[in-house]
Amino acid sequence: MIKKNFTKTPLDNWINHKIGSASAFLTRQALAEYQLRKLQETIDWAYQHSPFYHAHLPEGVKKKLNCLADLSQLPFTTTSHLEKQGLQMLCVSQGEIQRVVTLVTSGTTGQPKRLYFTREDQELTIDFFCQAMSILTKAGDYVAILLPCERQGSVGDLLASALERLGAQPIKQGIIHDLEETLQKLIVTQANVLVGIPIQMLALAKFYEASHKQAPLALKRILLSTDYVSEAIIQEIGRILNCEVFDHYGMTEMGLGVGIECCAHQGYHMREADLYLEVIDPQTGRNLPLGQVGELVFTTLTRKGMPLIRYRTGDLSRILPGNCPCGTVLQRIDTIRSRKVGCISLGENNFLTMAELDEKLLVLPGIIDFTATISYDAVFILLHIQLFLLTDYSTIDSLKKSAVYDVLERIDSIRLANDRRQLKMKVEFLSVGTEFSPKSSKRAIQVLVQ
């Protein structure tokens, strides 16, 4: 096998410059010293200026932080805090806020999360996008943005600004509402780079495979963003569109950009000058050793409007041990395979995740999306799967429900629940036209409360 040479991403040099290092190369030691200083500044800033953090953090908190490990003594910030007390987290006047992002959540409070960003906070995101996009984009490229673009300061709008700085040509298409229309636009514009939401990109690829295989697409590289992504989705998109697929880990709470893969595709390379990462045991809240899977917790290091301290993301992953072939010194986190909130009980000590369903169902021919709903009656757990198939997909007649049950029964938790005679499954096929487009919000198994 030919050994490929992977070059370091621009992130190392960018971060080395950002932290004001005197060395020509980024080192872990310089980064750790910078991060400790920034954590102290952030915590002091939040304690002084945010009514929430003034009450939430212990008195004299700045003096308590003498090394990075000391951060683990501080309390977490949770989704519930954001929902209930978001405005009290602000460290600046509302007049200094340039952008407010409202996220509808499945949280228990029923209130949306609101994130507040100043102009400088937005600039940090553009700066990161510029570096991250340069891994897969060069000057002169045509980049179709299939993310929300319409509003000023939206993710697609910031991405477009970053691409212009790179000398690339952004094409703001927005999220897909009609597969046919989107595909036509890709053909007309001859976009060679695409940025979009995983499940939507999969639907687009399958639609292309079904109906337009001969149409000339100029696509070379695709960046997936905004939701966890299963390996099945990455493989399918890459195979059908014959593109290199890069994965980006983004989250509004963390200023949209968190980390991106390099050409070796071995974990997200982290935006470590702006974010400090911890991995904790979701049950006990204790920090976990390197390499163990747990919940990702972030502290912002450079945000002024609404810094977040030890924010629990609900995302499950791990810091990858060892070195990336590209030679980066940045931490790498494994692909986000599932969200904590997505673990659904199928009986005692038995859990099912949306990611497991994705892995098995989305590779079936013609399936462009599905919903999964769980309900519980006195005796049984009921799993209802609705699969969406493209009407004109040639394989629609050949896909049998028995094949779907077969792949579902290959999931360990489903097999166990079946063995225990606790589970009833119902599979439904729904035929949809090109106007169907998978939801752009985060994917999750729905639980029906009866």
Which residues are at the interface with Zn ion (CB under 5 A)?
A: 262, 264, 324, 326, 328
d(CA 54, CA 47): 4
In the complex with Zn ion, which residue's Cβ is closer, 256 or 264?
264
Residue placing its CB nearer to Zn ion in the complex, 324 or 411: 324
Instruction: Starting at the earlier edge strand, list the strands of the sheet with 338-339.
Output: 275-280, 294-300, 311-317, 338-339
Of the pair 224, 324, the CB lying nearest Zn ion is at 324
List, as one string, the DSSP characters of 229-259. Answer: --HHHHHHHHHHHT-EEEEEEEEGGGTEEEE
The least distance separating Zn ion from the CB of residue 27, rounded to whole angstroms, comes to 17
> Of 329 and 390, which has the nearer Cβ to Zn ion?
329
CB of 13 to Zn ion, least distance (A): 14
Q: Are strands 193-196 and 423-432 parallel, antiparallel or unpaired?
A: unpaired
**Distance (Å, rounded) from C-alpha 230 to C-alpha 228?**
7
Sign of the four-CA dihedral 298, 299, 301, 303 = positive
Min dist CB 14 to Zn ion, Å, is: 14
Neighbours of 110 (CB within 10 A): 9
Min separation Cβ 326 and Zn ion, Å: 3
CA dist 49 to 75, 298, 330, Å? Answer: 18, 20, 31
Between residues 9 and 353, which has the closer beta carbon with respect to Zn ion? 9
CA distances from 108 to 66, 79, 84, 291, 410 (A): 36, 9, 11, 31, 32
Q: Which is nearer to Zn ion, 14 or 116 (CB)?
A: 14
CB of 331 to Zn ion, least distance (A): 11
- Return the number of the residue (135 or 162) whose C-beta is nearest Zn ion: 135
Find the shortest distance in angstroms from Cβ 34 to Zn ion: 21
- 196 and 182 Cβ atoms separated by less than 8 Å: no
User: Coil, helix or strand for 187?
Assistant: helix
DSSP character at residue 109 = S
Least distance from Zn ion to the Cβ atom of residue 324, Å:
3
Q: Nearer Cβ to Zn ion, position 131 or 440?
A: 131
The span from the CA of 29 to the CA of 50, in Å, is 31
In DSSP notation, 316-359 reads: EE-BPPS--TT---S-EE----EEGGG-EESSTT-EE-HHHHHH
Are 118 and 92 a contacting pair, CB within 8 Å? Answer: yes
CA–CA distance, 140 with 357 (Å, rounded to integer): 39
What CA–CA distance (Å, rounded) separates 286 from 281?
A: 5
Judged by beta carbon, residue 267 or residue 294, the one nearer Zn ion is 267
CA atoms within 13 A on the CB side of 292: 12
Which CB, 61 or 326, lies closer to Zn ion? 326
Shortest Å distance, C-beta 266 to Zn ion = 6
> CB-side exposure of 281: number of CA atoms within 13 Å?
7
Which residues touch 214 (CB under 8 Å, ≥6 apart)? none
CB of 294 to Zn ion, least distance (A): 22
- Residue with Cβ nearer Zn ion (26 or 362): 26
CA distance 305 to 242: 42
Q: Which two tokens stand for residue 131?
A: 């570096």
In this complex, which beta carbon is closest to Zn ion, that of residue 169 or of residue 328?
328
| Smallest separation (angstroms) from Zn ion to the CB of 257 | 16
Smallest gap from Cβ 9 to Zn ion, in A, equals 6
CB of 263 to Zn ion, least distance (A): 7
